[in-house]
């Protein structure tokens, strides 16, 4: 899934020390970070930033030698105000002019760029060593507002990084009547004269605190130090501001009407017509960024998208809306966060939504045509179970649906025959539905024929085993959520040909997710934050035929364990020379976010499952 970073329009110059699990062993610290915004009534602003970074460890040198300032050249003007290296003895080494580099996107022969006018000014600091401090200051002046008459800004500061002095000031027209929030920061408000006011936030964190967090798949900015400022009164106004310029782009023209008719052909049912139109956009319009001025939040004209067969999420959503309208099918565009936000912030910020999809109210259905592999009726995982802002018919609290757990099913059937010399031959068949099937189809579509022919051999080679085989797979071209593929294989030295030995019951080839990987993902006792998750069922069936002279001394024990969050059953049987095993892991997770308490309950089951999976077949 390709996201639209320009819709968020965040300037991620990252002067701050990196978050890490070993934060107290600081690599660098930030003596000061100062930012100011002077906001005009039309929503434009002049923003000034200055920050410094002191290098404490050799490992931080490489990143500290260079700073980048990026902006849209048609929407902003950038100026570097100050850039220098300060030595421990107070000496200042200014950055010479030859240490500035500008990387700009532009059109051929001086024409305007087509897909991006993003410009980056890179500053290379001279003579930087451990103990030095690099300092940079710059100004960004808006040439036009992203949303006329609207302005929003926010930032976060993490406790596992050291800051000595953080100051942020926003000056704005009183008539803008903004909402604002400070989390863990000192706040001061006052008059700036002539109908203007200001707010200033301060914070310091000289002693960073260690964090154990490693999984950032679910992120709640309300729990972090930071600020938020917005002239939007509610989230519905964000959708309305986007729709004011996006909706007219979705007009039904003769070209759109003709194309829609050609796509649906003889299909009569509206839902089948909608499916055909969605699949055409998903598979025929490739992704292309749109970071050109207000193009960051305004779709391109549809003729451009059709002529180039390329567009970003806004372009996809606008084109699909127009095609649906041409067939009398109602739809609206919908704004969603495609990264790690599963809750909207209390203060309505334009940057909290960074992706555009479509909603079809007659079918109560969301679709995302930027995903070329997701079937009609499903959503990619990163936009499931998320708050959504409808451009038309907005409803507070509306969310995209989570993937029903009953839809995520996987069965792995492994058949193996071990020869007297210890070599093995057999097959592994994978039957999937739901998210795994969608991913497998995408993988299979992109697999070159030569890679398919060598895949089994390469997998054995990575395991240090001499082996070979072949892959057969169903036609992956259809956009459906069911898929099947199968690998046949031969490999040497699976078992010792003489003496005592042991082996695990596991898939010889890693062609799909397995139960062990699933339970290990929740077995970490240090998971103490919400994480992204989903439910489903995994089944593993094994049949292993052993050599005639092999005597089995022990097999893994049967197990049935579970609670309301996870259940597992395993049975092992030896009949003659054939060992069979069946394992079932059932995860009833109802949504896409799992709380620490839920994971803790899953862990109780997972630990017992791992013990069972570690049991071996003993033989001689």
Q: Can you list the residues of the chain whose pLDDT is less than 50?
A: 1-23, 111
Residue 250 is given by DSSP the state G
Take residue 461 and report the two structure tokens written for it.
Answer: 């080679």
Three-state DSSP at 90 gives coil
Task: Look at residue 254 in the predicted model and tell me its pLDDT.
Answer: 97
Three-state DSSP at 162 gives coil
**Tokens 């300032």 found at:** 69
Task: Look at residue 106 in the predicted model and tell me its pLDDT.
Answer: 60
Task: Look at residue 261 in the predicted model and tell me its pLDDT.
Answer: 97
CA dist., res. 298 & res. 184, Å (int)? 35
Take residue 398 and report the two structure tokens written for it.
Answer: 């509306």
**Tokens 């070159």 found at:** 448
CA dist., res. 582 & res. 602, Å (int)? 21
Asked if residues 327 and 260 have their Cβ atoms less than 8 Å apart, the reply is: yes
**Tokens 């077995």 found at:** 523
**Tokens 């500061």 found at:** 157
Asked if residues 402 and 591 have their Cβ atoms less than 8 Å apart, the reply is: yes
DSSP code string of 473-518: E----S--SEEEEEEEEEES-SS-SSS-EEEE-S-SS--S--HHHH
Task: Look at residue 13 in the predicted model and tell me its pLDDT.
Answer: 31
**Phi, psi of 544, rounded to the nearest 5 degrees:** -125, 115
Three-state DSSP at 66 gives strand
Residue 430: which H helix or E strand, with range? strand 424-433
Asked if residues 308 and 286 have their Cβ atoms less than 8 Å apart, the reply is: no
Task: Look at residue 528 in the predicted model and tell me its pLDDT.
Answer: 86
Task: Look at residue 537 in the predicted model and tell me its pLDDT.
Answer: 96
Domains along the chain with CATH numbers:
16-231 (2.60.40.3140), 238-403 (3.10.620.30), 406-619 (2.60.120.1130)
**In 3D, which of 339, 333, 393 has the Cα closest to residue 369?**
333
Is the pTM for the entire model greater than 0.75?
A: yes
Asked if residues 317 and 336 have their Cβ atoms less than 8 Å apart, the reply is: no
Asked if residues 552 and 619 have their Cβ atoms less than 8 Å apart, the reply is: yes
Asked if residues 229 and 170 have their Cβ atoms less than 8 Å apart, the reply is: yes
For strands 286-287 and 310-311, give the pairing: parallel
């Amino acid at each position: 899934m390709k996201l639209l970073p320009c819709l968020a329009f965040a300037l991620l110059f990252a002067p701050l020390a990196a978050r890490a699990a070993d934060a107290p062993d600081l690599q660098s610290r930030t003596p000061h970070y100062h930012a100011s915004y002077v906001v005009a009534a039309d929503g434009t602003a002049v923003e000034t930033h200055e920050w410094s970074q002191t290098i404490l460890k050799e490992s931080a040198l490489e990143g500290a030698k260079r700073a980048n300032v990026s902006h849209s050249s048609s929407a902003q003007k950038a100026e570097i105000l100050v850039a220098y290296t300060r030595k421990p003895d107070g000496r200042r080494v200014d950055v010479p002019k030859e240490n500035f580099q500008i990387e700009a996107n532009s059109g051929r022969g001086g024409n305007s760029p087509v897909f991006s006018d993003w410009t980056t000014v890179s500053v290379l600091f001279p003579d930087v060593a451990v103990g030095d401090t690099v300092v940079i200051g710059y100004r960004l002046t808006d040439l036009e507002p992203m949303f006329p008459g609207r302005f929003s800004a926010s930032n976060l500061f993490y406790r596992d990084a050291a800051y000595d002095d953080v100051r942020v000031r926003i000056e704005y027209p009183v008539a803008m009547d903004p909402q604002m929030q400070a989390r863990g920061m000192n706040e001061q408000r006052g008059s700036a004269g002539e109908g203007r006011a200001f707010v200033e936030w301060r914070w310091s964190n000289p002693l960073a605190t260690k964090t154990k967090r490693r999984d950032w798949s679910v992120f709640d900015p309300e729990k972090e130090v930071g600020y938020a400022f917005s002239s939007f009164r509610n989230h519905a106004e964000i959708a309305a501001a986007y729709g004011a310029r996006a909706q007219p782009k979705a007009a039904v023209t003769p070209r759109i009407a003709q194309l829609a008719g050609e796509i649906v052909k003889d299909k009569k049912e509206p839902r089948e017509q909608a499916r055909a139109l969605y699949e055409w956009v998903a598979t025929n319009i490739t992704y292309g960024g749109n970071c050109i001025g207000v193009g960051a939040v305004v779709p391109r004209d549809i003729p451009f998208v059709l002529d180039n067969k390329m567009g970003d999420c806004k372009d996809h959503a606008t084109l699909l809306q127009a095609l649906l309208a041409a067939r009398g099918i109602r739809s609206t565009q919908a704004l969603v966060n495609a990264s790690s936000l599963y809750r909207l912030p209390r203060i309505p910020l334009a940057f909290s939504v960074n992706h555009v999809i479509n909603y079809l109210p007659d079918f109560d259905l969301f679709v995302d045509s930027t995903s070329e592999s997701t079937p009609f009726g499903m959503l990619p995982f990163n936009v499931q179970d998320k708050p959504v802002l409808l451009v038309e018919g907005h409803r507070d609290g509306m969310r995209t649906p989570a993937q029903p757990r009953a839809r995520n099913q996987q069965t792995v059937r492994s058949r193996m025959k071990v020869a007297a010399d210890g070599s093995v031959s057999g097959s592994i068949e994978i039957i999937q539905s739901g998210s795994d099937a969608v991913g497998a189809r995408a993988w299979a579509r992109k697999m070159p024929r030569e890679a398919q022919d060598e895949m089994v051999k390469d997998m054995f080679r990575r395991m240090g085993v001499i082996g070979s085989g072949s892959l057969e797979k169903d036609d992956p071209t259809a956009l459906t959520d069911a898929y099947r593929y199968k690998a046949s294989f031969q490999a040497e030295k699976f078992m010792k040909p003489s003496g005592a030995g042991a082996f695990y019951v596991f898939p010889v080839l890693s062609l799909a997710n397995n139960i062990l990987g699933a339970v290990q993902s929740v077995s970490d006792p240090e998971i103490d934050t919400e994480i992204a998750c989903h439910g489903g069922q995994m089944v593993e069936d094994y049949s292993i035929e052993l050599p005639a002279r092999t005597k089995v001394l022990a097999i893994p024990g049967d197990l049935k364990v579970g609670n309301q969050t996870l259940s597992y059953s395993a049975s092992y049987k030896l009949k003659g020379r054939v060992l069979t095993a069946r394992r079932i892991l059932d995860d009833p997770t109802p949504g896409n976010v799992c709380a620490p308490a839920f994971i803790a309950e899953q862990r109780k089951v997972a630990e017992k499952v791992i013990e069972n999976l570690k049991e071996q077949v003993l033989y001689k």
